[in-house]
Amino acid sequence: MNAIKDSVHDWISLDPVAADLLDTEAFQRLRHIKQLSTVRLVYPSASHTRFEHSLGVYHLAANALDSLGIEGQRAEHVRAAALLHDVGHGPYGHQTEEVIRRHTGTDHDELGDLLYETDLVGVLDRHDLDPDRVAALVRGEGELGQLVSGELDVDRMDYLVRDAHHTGVPYGTIDHGRLVRELRYRDGRLVLAEGNVATAESLLLARALMDGIVYRHHVSRIAGAMLERACERLLVGDLAVDEFRRMADHDLLVALRREVPDLGRRIERRDLYKRAVWAGIDRVPDAVTELDREDERAAAREIAEAAGVDREAVLVDVPSRPELKESRSRVVVDGVVQRLEQASEMVGALRATRRAQWRLGVYAPEHEVDAVHEAARGVLGLP
């Protein structure tokens, strides 16, 4: 097999390294990790996986390298990194990232020893590729690393288009052909060539619209909070975090149903908690907006006690402050490299929009919602 049919990019040609990497157990595992985890509880067509996404990122990386005239071993390392950029993901992708970080101190793009501990190292060796260099590229390091992980990376370009295709929500459908063609290096920085402020803005806007309509849909957030709580409880038990992070979606779903049946069964059959509180940033005390996961759990326990309900029946969900990574992408304007946030008025507006979209969530089983609502107002100091 040297070309794979993809529903987004049509045919994806594989170089010999990619063809061999594809065949490893570590990469095949990505077939069993859905790209959008709990989002598919809202958009039922969105069952696509990190396997096909990784192929798409590889494909766009190859196109970008061609367009930039980068060849040989340097290009091989970048393509390998693009293909492998998600092998460090735990089950349910981003949804378990925070749990894993708390238990291990590492992120999914910290491949660490993973390349050495799996059958990936053998393939890299055989093709004379350096695992450390691949890992560094996945972390976004160096000139070429920006292609894999950065404000203008091909990861973002693939997932926006792919998520649009699979959810049916059109707003992620960017012109990746143009973005890839307009990439340039200036003083070691990846930038968009002159005349592409609007191109950069389109990427930013696509991300912002998809965020509001898809990625942070409240149903997905509720299910995500339930999943995260269930995973915490799973890790309190016998399960080692190292085993946990190597699970795939099906392993986790079965484990949760068995070990944390109250939440596990609810997630599996989409019997979700409801919103007891859903409050905009202006209604929430500053201190609350800065709660970390530990604080959230403490607050949830306090609310549960105040409401007289089971302590597992309350979830507090404080999203991170809005961030706009794309706003720091670089564009050439009148011959000078600028950050998009300098070149575009859109960035400030999007920051404000995302601030306006921010919501504190407190979730509980449907019949407890009223009691939890009252208790949460008191505990969190809401008006």
User: Looking at beta carbons only, is 66 or 292 nearer to its own copies?
Assistant: 66
Contact positions with its own copies (CB under 8 A) in 14-43: 23, 25, 28-29, 31-32, 34, 40-41, 43
Residue of the chain from 98, 262, 357, 374 that contacts its own copies (CB under 8 A):
357
Crossing angle of helices 249-259 and 261-268, rounded to 10°: 130
Contact 203, 82 (CB under 8 A): no
Binding mask 173-202 for its own copies (x = CB under 8 A): xxx-xx--x----------------x--xx
Binding mask 270-299 for its own copies (x = CB under 8 A): xx----------------------------
φ, ψ at 48 (rounded to 5°): -70, 160
User: Looking at beta carbons only, is 290 or 366 nearer to its own copies?
Assistant: 366
Residue of the chain from 70, 102, 106, 213 that contacts its own copies (CB under 8 A):
213
CB of 33 to its own copies, least distance (A): 11
φ, ψ at 321 (rounded to 5°): -60, 145
Q: Which two tokens stand for residue 224?
A: 């995500």
| Sign, Cα dihedral of 293, 297, 303, 309 | positive
Q: Which two tokens stand for residue 137?
A: 């590229």
Residue of the chain from 15, 107, 110, 251 that contacts its own copies (CB under 8 A):
251
CB of 31 to its own copies, least distance (A): 7
For the chain, give me the number of helices (H) and strands (E)? 21, 9
| Sign, Cα dihedral of 248, 294, 321, 327 | negative
Contacts with its own copies by CB under 8 A: the residue count is 66
Residue of the chain from 236, 240, 254, 336 that contacts its own copies (CB under 8 A):
254
Amino acid at 322: P
Q: Which of 167, 178, 180 is nearest to 209 (CA)?
A: 167
Q: Measure Cα distances from 103 to 115, 221, 242 in Å.
A: 20, 22, 9
Consecutive H or E run containing 50? helix 50-68
Binding mask 231-250 for its own copies (x = CB under 8 A): ------------------xx
User: Looking at beta carbons only, is 43 or 296 nearer to its own copies?
Assistant: 43
Binding mask 95-134 for its own copies (x = CB under 8 A): ----------------------------------------
Query: What gap in Å lies between CA 239 and CA 72, rounded to an integer?
Result: 43
| Span between the terminal Cα atoms of the chain, in Å | 61
Residue 166 touching its own copies (CB under 8 A): yes
| Sign, Cα dihedral of 312, 313, 316, 319 | positive
User: Looking at beta carbons only, is 49 or 149 nearer to its own copies?
Assistant: 49
Query: What gap in Å lies between CA 326 and CA 201, rounded to an integer?
Result: 9
Mark the segment that binds its own copies (CB under 8 A) among 107-115, 144-152, 164-172, 322-330.
164-172
Query: What gap in Å lies between CA 372 and CA 119, rounded to an integer?
Result: 49
CB of 187 to its own copies, least distance (A): 25
Query: What gap in Å lies between CA 256 and CA 99, rounded to an integer?
Result: 15
Mark the segment that binds its own copies (CB under 8 A) among 49-57, 72-80, 133-141, 298-306.
49-57
User: Looking at beta carbons only, is 6 or 98 nearer to its own copies?
Assistant: 6
Residue 358 touching its own copies (CB under 8 A): no
Q: Which of 38, 25, 54 is nearest to 249 (CA)?
A: 38
Query: What gap in Å lies between CA 36 and CA 198, rounded to an integer?
Result: 28
Residue 261 touching its own copies (CB under 8 A): no
Q: Please provide the size of the chain in residues.
A: 383
Residue 367 touching its own copies (CB under 8 A): no
CB of 13 to its own copies, least distance (A): 9
CB of 49 to its own copies, least distance (A): 6
Q: Which two tokens stand for residue 173?
A: 């459908």
Binding site for its own copies (CB under 8 A): 3-8, 10-11, 23, 25, 28-29, 31-32, 34, 40-41, 43-49, 51-52, 55, 165-171, 173-175, 177-178, 181, 198, 201-202, 205, 209, 212-213, 249-251, 253-254, 268-271, 344-346, 348-350, 352-353, 356-357
